[in-house]
Structure 1
C-alpha cells in the first residue's frame, strides 16, 4: 500500500471510529506501529487529526475530509456509478456537475468516451461546474466547453459557493445535471454538510431538464446538516448494487427512479 493510500485508509478508519490507538490502526492497515506513528504525525501536522497519548482522535474540523483524501474510498463503486451516468449524456448536451469524488469520476468517464473525442466546428459537450478540480481536469480537452460558475472556493471540497455562482446558474439552462451528496434519505432526499454548497447544488439541479443525485450505497440512509432536495428536485438516484433493496423501494415510493451499477461489471445496470 502506497503512503497516500495508507493515510487515506487511516483517515477513513478514524472517521468511522472517532478514536484510534497506534496498535489498533497498525493491525487494521497491516503495517508496523512505527509507520502508523509517522503517518499520524504527518496528518496531525495537516490538522486532519489530533495526536493523543498512544493514538489519535478526529480533528474538530475533520467532519468532511478534503477531496484529495477521499479519492480511493469506494473507488470501484464510484467508477461504476460514473459509467452509468456518462451513458445518460448525449453529444452536444449541456451537463451540470457539482463537486465531489463521484462527479469527478463522471467527468473522467465523459472525457474518455470515444464519441465525444475529437475537435470540430462545435464543442462536443458543454460542462457547467462549480468544481475547481473537475474544471482543471477537463480544461485540457478542447472538445469540451468548460463553464465555471464562479464564487468563493471551499477549501475542503474545492467547490465554488456563494451568491456569485448562484447568479450565473440562474441565467443558464442545463440538459442534465449530476449532483453529489454526503447522504441521501427517502424522507428528506439528498443532504450535504454545508448550507452554501446545498444551495448551489439545488439550483444546479433545478436548472436542468433532468437531474440525478449520485451516491454510493454507503451514503444511503445517511442524513447530513443541509438539505439539497428530494423528488421535487431530482428525477433519478444512481447508486451501486450494494444498496439495500428495501431502501431502494422506499426511494421509488418517494418518486425517484433508481438505477444501480455493478462495480464488478460497470456495463451492467439495473433499474426499478
Structure 2
C-alpha cells in the first residue's frame, strides 16, 4: 500500500471511531510499528489528528479528508460514474462541475470524448467550475471553454467559495451541473462538510436546467454538517452498483431519480 493510501486509510479509521492504536494499524495495514508511528506523526503535523500514547485520536468527528488523500479511494466506482455522467452531456452544453474527486473524474471523462478533441469545433463544451484543480486539468483542451469562478480557496477541497464565486454564478446559466457531496440521505438530503461549499453548490444547481448529485455508494445514507437540499433542488442521483436495494427504494420514495453506473 502506498503512503498516501495508508494515510487516507488511517483518516477513514479515525472518522469511524474514537481513535486508533499503533498495533491496530500494524494488523490492518500490514506495516511495521515504526511505519505506523511515522504515518501518525505526519498526519499530526498536518493537524488531521491528535497523537495519543500508543496511537491517535481525531481532532473532530466531522472533518473532511483532504482531496489529495480522497483521490485514492473508490477509484473504479468513481470512474464508472464519470463515464455515465459524461455521456449525459450533449455537445455544445454548458456543464457545471463543483469540486470533489468524482467531479474531477467527470472532467477527465468529458475531456476524453471524441467530440471534445482538438480537431472538433471550437468550444465543444463550456465548463463552469469553482474547482481550481479541475480548471487546471482541462486548461490544455483547446476545444473546451473553461469559466472559473473567483472566490476564497478551500485548501482541503481546492474549491473557490464565498461572495465572489456566488456573484459569478448568479450571472450564468448552465445546462447540466454535476454536484459532489459528502453525503446523500433520503430524509436529510444532500450534505457537505463546509457551509461555504454548500452555498456555492446550491447556487450552481439553481443556475442549472438539470442538477445531478454524483456520489459513490459509500456516501449513500450518510450526512455531513451543511445541508444543500433535497430532490426539489437535486432531482437526479448518479451512483454506483454498491447502493443497496433498500437505499435506492428510500431515495426513490422521496422523489429522487436514482441512476446506477454499472
Q: What interval of TM-score do these two structures reach, taking the shorter chain for normalisation?
A: over 0.9
- Please list every run of at least 4 consecutive aligned residues from structure 1 whose deviation after the TM superposition is greater than 4 angstroms: none
Equivalent in the alignment of 1:156: 156
Instruction: State whether residues 236 and 256 of structure 1, in contact with CA within 8 Å, keep that contact through their aligned partners in structure 2.
Output: yes
Distance 1:244 1:120 in 2: 40
What is the SS of the residue equivalent to 1:95? Answer: strand
Residue ranges of structure 1 left out of the alignment (5+ in a row): 263-272
Equivalent in the alignment of 1:237: 237
- How many residue pairs match? The answer is 262
Equivalent in the alignment of 1:86: 86
- Match runs of 1:93-242 below 5 Å: 93-120=93-120, 122-242=122-242
What is the SS of the residue equivalent to 1:17? Answer: coil
Instruction: State whether residues 119 and 142 of structure 1, in contact with CA within 8 Å, keep that contact through their aligned partners in structure 2.
Output: no
Distance 1:188 1:56 in 2: 31
Instruction: State whether residues 62 and 225 of structure 2, in contact with CA within 8 Å, keep that contact through their aligned partners in structure 1.
Output: no
Equivalent in the alignment of 2:254: 254
How high is the TM-score relative to the length of structure 2? 0.95
Q: C-alpha displacement at 1:121, in angstroms?
A: 5.0
Q: C-alpha displacement at 1:4, in angstroms?
A: 1.8
Equivalent in the alignment of 1:57: 57
Instruction: State whether residues 49 and 62 of structure 1, in contact with CA within 8 Å, keep that contact through their aligned partners in structure 2.
Output: no
Q: C-alpha displacement at 1:217, in angstroms?
A: 1.2
Q: CA offsets, 1:75-120, max 9 Å, x none?
A: 1111111111111011111000011111111111111122211245
Equivalent in the alignment of 2:33: 33
Q: C-alpha displacement at 1:235, in angstroms?
A: 2.4
Distance 2:59 2:167 in 1: 34
Distance 2:111 2:17 in 1: 37
Q: CA offsets, 1:48-69, max 9 Å, x none?
A: 1111111111124971011111
What is the SS of the residue equivalent to 2:16? Answer: helix
Instruction: State whether residues 176 and 209 of structure 2, in contact with CA within 8 Å, keep that contact through their aligned partners in structure 1.
Output: yes
Q: CA offsets, 1:193-230, max 9 Å, x none?
A: 11111111011011111110011111111122211111
Instruction: State whether residues 62 and 193 of structure 2, in contact with CA within 8 Å, keep that contact through their aligned partners in structure 1.
Output: no
Distance 1:222 1:32 in 2: 33
How high is the TM-score relative to the length of structure 1? 0.92
RMSD: 1.5
Distance 2:148 2:62 in 1: 27
Equivalent in the alignment of 1:266: none
Distance 1:66 1:172 in 2: 29
